[in-house]
Structure 1
Amino acid sequence: MASRKPQTPARKSWWRTGSAWKRIALWTLIAGVGVGLIAMVALLTAVYSTRSSLPSYDELKSSPNGQMVRVHAADSTVLVSLGPSYGEWIKYDQIPQVMKDAIIAVEDRRFESHWGVDPLGLARAVRTGIANRGTGRRLQGASTITQQVARTIFLSNKYDFGRKMREAVLALAMERKFSKDQILELYLNKVYFGGGAYGIDAASRKFFGHPASSLSLAEAAVIAGLVKAPSHYSPTADAEAAVSRASVVLGVMAETGKISQATAAATDPRTVKLAPEPRQNSVRYFTDWALPQLETLIDETEAPLEVWTTLDLGMQRAADEAIRKNAPGDAQGALVSLDRDGAVRAMVGGKDYVASIYNRATQAVRQPGSAFKLFVYLSALEAGHKVDDIVVDEPVTINGWSPRNNSGRNSGQITIRTAFTYSINTIAAKLGQEVGFGTVADMARRFGITTPINTQPAMVLGTSNVRLIDMTRAFASVGQKGVAVTPYGITRVTANGNVIYQHEVDTSHVLVAPYVAAQMTDLLQTAVATGTGRAAQIGRPVAGKTGTTSSNKDGWFIGFSSGLTTGVWMGRDDAKVVPGLQGGTAPARAFAAFMTKAVAKRPVEQFETQVTLPEWQLEPEDNAYYTAPDNGMFVDADGNPLSEERQPRSDDSEEGAQGDEQLDQDWIDRMTGNRPPAPQPDPGRAPPPRDAARQPPQDRAPPRENPEGF
């Protein structure tokens, strides 16, 4: 019987014997390859489909880029025409080699080798973006020259993932259809270089006064440096930044071998001679503030635009003159004026727009001094205080901080009206402590203060930096009986005759009850009639407040009359002392000079309450009290009072020279309205009886006006 061979067991495949994770990994690999192939096919399809639909090169050369924008004043007068400025089209072989080398070195050093999208540049940008995550900064450095051409011609500057994908597809398609030389020629003739200049020829003529065909190496470096941030690096806006950026461009050119290190070292961008800028006026402060808002108001990016604004040219001229004539010689000044609905009627950001385009009305943040007490007293009134409530002016210490009055004395029992009229610091501190410093900060934010507000006790004297336009907005909201006023500069926009934007005023936001706003207005008009703001009188009812910071570094006056609210700030950009500068002097005079003209054609508007003199009016021998300067509560950066010898003298101020001027009700009536004069007390008789709690002891001098500020 034949023997049977033993059967060998069947070999199991790797697939059956492999662990589960191996099978998962294999399927993942297969799926990934499949998805990648599908994506590649989709990308190639999109690229070649886009390539077939691209315009011809001649069509791209003639296609417009940028928008023409005409800006009108409130009376339809054209303020300025903005938009693209085009020079001559410079052909590739006529473009200076230094210009081509500079732009490639700084914008896309692998331009000659990539296919429209640079994977290495993208990876570097992604790595940088990961490092900067959480900072709010955009992904930068990933766009090639070809992508920038695609964006300039076909897309908007809106930043999102979909736009970046379309940009990449267009760039790949353009590289399939056009040569590198053609793409670079398009780029250098179409990219935006700032100042309204599109293309190197327009930029060269604007900044250097000659055609681009004769650009030097230093000039080419300046122009190449503009692409990253045209407004920031513009040589006409910031020559130092432009030179610094041009030096970076020269260094990159040497690094990439476009020029030698010796050539880079021998080229000095500071030797570049700039073409003189055409003269501008203060209207540009307003247009520079208003026009960027178009980006959020409308979506139209191609059609020519007609923009109607709120600016009143007569008021603007008056504002410009008021600042130029009243700001101290070594100081700057700013003014913004709002109508009752928030329309900006005048805006001056400095003495000379040509010398400085920095808008101090909307950009500068400075300490407001006692102008900030508006929010302290609003909080107190909302909490239930009345303007005639009795408060005690006495030494006070809050968390180690002891505010002092300028007189060095305390006046005991006085009214809230008296405390506000003469800016008594101890009362502001006590009211702030009573309602809560956080409550005061919340009130400031409620009324439109957008800058950070500290809640240390000294904040009641204005230690937090604010913007003039925000403070003016707050006062305007008080003038509108507590209804929020939002500044705006653009009323409507049309494109091809069609209205594409129309401003609508929102009066639905009530910030405080009308009675609170009315009481605050009562205090504000008293401060102008008899207190720190007397220089702001214009022969009709005015409500306002002065502000002065330590060592006379900042002077403010903000007030309203006849539906118009105007804020004035003066000081040095470097925050150095301006001798004699106080809110009640130059700023108040500038306010009066402007408002006298601005409201001349408006009817006189009385406030809900008549001017009521503070209680001290019955002591005629104390008239000097009314004329003490408004020069600030002097404390250091931490809110601690400065020593007396470190504080500036107040007896040399212009207001101090007014001590002999008699204040009486007739004068108040002439300046503020038509109310019949109150009976004057007989000099030979005792004053009429008053509440004993309100009458100061006979051996005590009445309180002098306190220095305001921080």
Structure 2
Amino acid sequence: MKRAACLVIACVLPAAAHALPSFDEVRTKWRSSDWVLLSRDGEPLARTRIDTSARRGDWVALADVSPALREAIVVSEDKRFHEHAGVDWRGAAAAAWGNLWNTRTRGASTVTMQLTGLIEEDGKPTGRRSIGEKARQTVGALWLERSWRKDQILEAYLNLVPFRGEIVGLSALSQTLFGKAPSGLDEREAALAAALVRAPNAPYAKVAARTCTILRDMQALHGARDVDPCVNLTSYVQLMLTRTASAPAFAQGDDALAPHLARRIASEVHPAAGARVRATLDARLQRFARDTLARTLAELNAPAHPRNVHDAAAIVIDNRSGDVLAWVGSAGGLSNAPEVDAVLAARQAGSTLKPFLYAQAIDEKRVTAATLLDDAPLDLATGGGLYIPQNYDHDFKGWVSVRTALGSSLNVPAVRTLVMVTPHRFAKTLVALGLPLSQAGDYYGFSLALGSADVTLATLANAYRALANAGIARPFFDLADAPKEVLVDRRPAPAGTRVFSPEASFIVTDILADNNARTRTFGFDNVLATRTFAAVKTGTSKDMRDNWAVGFTSRYTVGVWVGNADGAPMWDVSGVTGAAPAWNALVNYLNRRSDSRAPQAPAGVVRASVTYQDDIEPARHEWFVRGTQMSAIGLTANAARTVRGASSDAQAARIGAPTDGTIFALDPDIPPARQRVWFERADSGARLAWRLDGKPYSRDARAAWLPWPGRHVLELVDARGEVVDKVGFEVRGAYAKAASHGAR
């Protein structure tokens, strides 16, 4: 009988050898059910499931499997795995004897025999096998043992064996059930995984009982019986197995560092199952950006002073290559719409468009960095009525230079500049920078100077990158080489489009990096100041719905947005309290090993000493486009009278500011502590006092008032209480809405 069996095996073995593939063929054929987004260094950033027939992870080498799991599989499925040659004849005899006496015994199939069946059926077991199939499996196991090493057999088995539900292979099981790599499985987790091999879809109680048996067998191997390994095991098994029903298409944790970018790539590139797509992202920077935004949101929503800010996004672009090094579409756990990619969401730009406006005006030689602009009330006739821009703090500064106007984000000077440039031409410039304006400039009108157009964080940051690259706009890259695994290190940069001259770009960059230019609005000690060179601008849209901080160093452009994905307004958030702290943290991280250096002045600019008449601004050295430099700047006689206040023949007492009928529409881009409306009188020095809404307010010739929503009446009264002059005004805008939430 034994000789006959050996003869059959000898005859069938060559056929089995011809039918079964080699280990390398099996491993090469393996395909994950996901495609994987990799960082530029090959670290997984996100997994996206493509094949819905089964859930398979990456192939796992046996060296990356925890010793506990290897032991649990052998103890559970094949105790003599390391001794037999493919068939456990002792186990087969015991099984046959048990079947003869109708006794429940462990099956006689070894790990090698099971692997033979998995290879033949392409990982899809068919249930009970006939005697002929068993014989074929036995022959195949003998051939595998002669052709494969033991470690190869166990490795292939762990990758091909089906577990619970649709899960196939150890990688998918480990990530889905335990949220960790197979190398990190402990004894309890390993025993549960081994228990699922025998009865993948058994009820919780049966799986728990089998897990308990495996744990006790493993404990017996080591001679340890002090602690019962089965305590609370049933509840643990039930908790772990419930995770399989809700496993996401996008993996969680660090394996989902860039889910939004992965989703966009999936819709554009359509990777196949098993594909590994390499992006330009830096995994460490991506992780730091995600964690920084989450920390920023937590601070903005501290219980002592909640700001109603639930979403944030960030992007980092390499200035030279255009590679996107970080892309965080959403951060924080309180978002009402975490699936929204805020890097690509179109939102109002606020004051972040001002640098482009001044660069264009400098290129057109309409202004220089030293040119004086009048920061005073301005009424512009439009098709819908009067457009009356206001500064955030409503403290008009009078005559200021372009450097101060841009650095301190003053609105009225920006609108005056747009009047010279025209909305139509400015809109064309923004489109040339890659900003997705949906309408022509005349549609936005003069409000375009204050960022009424919708932009995305990605396009806005790339537009600032054009300033960093001396005025040349080029596209950015977020994918190194979509269908392949090879990173393209020397990708040729496109020619690009020159939008600004190197001279205008340099001068605007110098202003954005000048902390002294920001002091009129933000104070000297502000979060926009960095240890080394960085040019930056903040912006806040209408009703505090969007807050931006965008800028660049010598090597990187960094853009940060905070707000709410559903469009809800924030409370008491300004340009330097919302996005700017996260922007500052990212810039410091990027410069942690090397300093950022200011750009070299191009040949077309000169630096000249400038003095101002009547000390309107301190004397300084200023940059000019060659041929536009000047050394002394003053005002005409009419302008001088305006800046000094009332003319010499205006002896009668009156209210100089605000004017009657003024509507204050506050720009939320300046800290709330600096929100003030200034009452000014033009008189001959008589003893007069202010009365606001019928109540005494101040006796100072110039008094500051914290704006409050609604209509107000301001009176100037003499010593007898008689009204000398009276004006009415109204307060509207974002600050009024914030006040209803207690944010003042």
Using structure 1 for the length normalisation, give the TM-score: 0.50
RCO greater where, 1 or 2, for CA within 8 Å and sep 6 or more?
1
More helix, by proportion? 1
Which structure has the larger Rg?
2
